[in-house]
Chain A
């Protein structure tokens, strides 16, 4: 690439650069100002984390000490067994397996669909391509709530409500993933493909052996977001799934939360169990996530 240092890099380059940069440069300055600044920022961070910290300690308390008049983090007993009770009470094992399976299936098919579409938009020529692409662009900012009633009626007609098929299908066709991959694929040098074609490679072969290996960072980012999107989804699962044994974690948690006489310490244990996977994913893939969000690859919150 011949771009100058300060030129605003596009989505693909920015994510790729971040992906490859492993060593961050740190200038060590030990001035007291920096110490003060750091302390201040981390105090704000600690206040921000307080609700989660409180949740964790509440999850370890005996039931009758959840609403102590004075703030105490550690109760008269530290009950790690609350996590076991929450696991059994909310049927967390089942929810976890369901959520994992649904999110994995969703992620797999999202990637397949987006890769094929993005490849067609970026590397293949065909009549009507620009029209179809504009169709995709137009759906980018559509709120999904608008589609839920016709979708529900459609699946009801096919007698597919309360199935994972109905849960998963509508989520696979978001245009953001196609966009992200298209941006990356536009960067792949055409010479590589020409060489492969001269060697007699088919289009599918070029996609599989030339293009996909070069855009793997983007596919990983898309995978993380597709997974989290499915993992966190609430409204559509709430509408489409009625049988408890098919529920996902958010549904199970909401169901437990709305039960009368909420056992708060167990609900909080459930929340911690729910948030832990996110903490792991975010910590492990923070570089790619930060780059992808920063590039506006996945819309807003």
Chain B
């Protein structure tokens, strides 16, 4: 990229409309580039180049020991026919489809509850936030113990006459367990996001609806929730992006099993690359994950017109 060396050109390159809005110091152009250089260089070296590298590597048969040979679309064709990849795709899709709505529903309910009159709100907020900000490995290890066949959860359930549930030895229960642990761990984060959204709604609007005779249910569904929809949209988009990348919970609690029932896309990627040294094929998986995340994000951005209200 060419760095402008003449200080005389500074400021003259910007359109007059924008220049009026942003307040900046009139300094030499080279100074701006100097300040931006470390961040930009890092971004190119450690974010953009690896991203392109990943897409390129997908076209190679590449291993640490054997080096690489160009194989064209072979990896991508193989991916579509790979039962293990398709399985990880199904597992992760179920996770995203079940976990995201439950997360939003739980965070929203708790955010609404914490707005009602009760003592110790700040304490509860901190409590719910702790697992979201502590190492996932520790959270997962805690649940690995609790979810054992003779663990505390089954003991508790037996007291009310349920179970024992094969949390870690049945495929569908294991995936359920991963979803529940993820909910426990992460909902506090979105609860804070949605609480902030609720705080920014003008009390006047709610008051006006009250004066017009709207009951509390009507106020919630016709006034509060539509006004909150931008925050819900924001939380949903980011939660979906994060959910596609689920890895640690499965890695620690189930190891991807029993069988392949909790092997997520990132876990399959990790094993393919670093247990089986198929780096080219794993890059094709990474590229597929990238496309999936980009597509689901775009679909949500298009779909938001139908339900997100910006005032």
Contact = CB atoms under 8 A, between A and B. Distances in A.
Interface string A116-141: 11011111111111001001100101
B117 interface: yes
Among B51, B116, B196, B255, chain A packs the most CB atoms within 10 A around the CB of B196
B145 interface: yes
B135 A231 contact: yes
Interface residues of A, number: 107
B38 A117 contact: yes
Interface string B181-192: 000101001101
A48 B204 contact: no
B152 interface: yes
A253 B126 contact: no
A127 B9 contact: yes
A223 interface: no
Contacts of A190: 23-25
B97 interface: no
A120 B286 CA distance: 33
A198 to B, nearest CB: 11
Interface of B is mostly: helix
Contact of A126 (B32, B122, B190): B32
A216 interface: no
B47 A71 contact: no
A12 to B, nearest CB: 14
B46 A58 contact: no
B35 A116 contact: yes
Interface in B234-285: 234-235, 237-239, 241-242, 244-245, 247-248, 251-252, 255, 266, 269-270, 273-274, 279, 282-283
A105 B29 CA distance: 31
Contact of A173 (B27, B43, B133): B43
Given A70-B155, A190-B25, A250 B135 contact: yes
A301 interface: yes
A125 B141 contact: no
B148 A34 contact: no
Given A267-B145, A294-B196, A37 B117 contact: yes
Contacts of A120: 32-33, 35-36
A69 B151 CA distance: 8
B165 interface: no
Contacts of B48: 135, 139
A91 interface: no
A179 to B, nearest CB: 11
A296 B286 CA distance: 26
Given A117-B38, A151-B46, A234-B137, A125 B26 contact: yes
A257 B128 contact: no
B146 to A, nearest CB: 6
B297 interface: yes
A282 B133 contact: yes
A220 interface: no
B50 A150 contact: yes
B72 interface: no
Interface of B: 1, 4, 9-11, 13-14, 22-27, 29-33, 35-36, 38-40, 42-43, 46-51, 53-54, 57, 64, 113-114, 116-120, 122-138, 141-146, 148, 150-152, 155-156, 159, 184, 186, 189-190, 192-193, 195-197, 199-200, 202-204, 234-235, 237-239, 241-242, 244-245, 247-248, 251-252, 255, 266, 269-270, 273-274, 279, 282-283, 286-287, 289-290, 293, 297
Closest 8 CB pairs of A and B: A300-B238, A294-B196, A126-B32, A150-B53, A117-B39, A147-B50, A173-B42, A278-B134
12 contacts: A41-B124, A117-B40, A124-B32, A128-B33, A173-B47, A203-B35, A250-B136, A270-B138, A286-B129, A293-B193, A299-B238, A300-B239
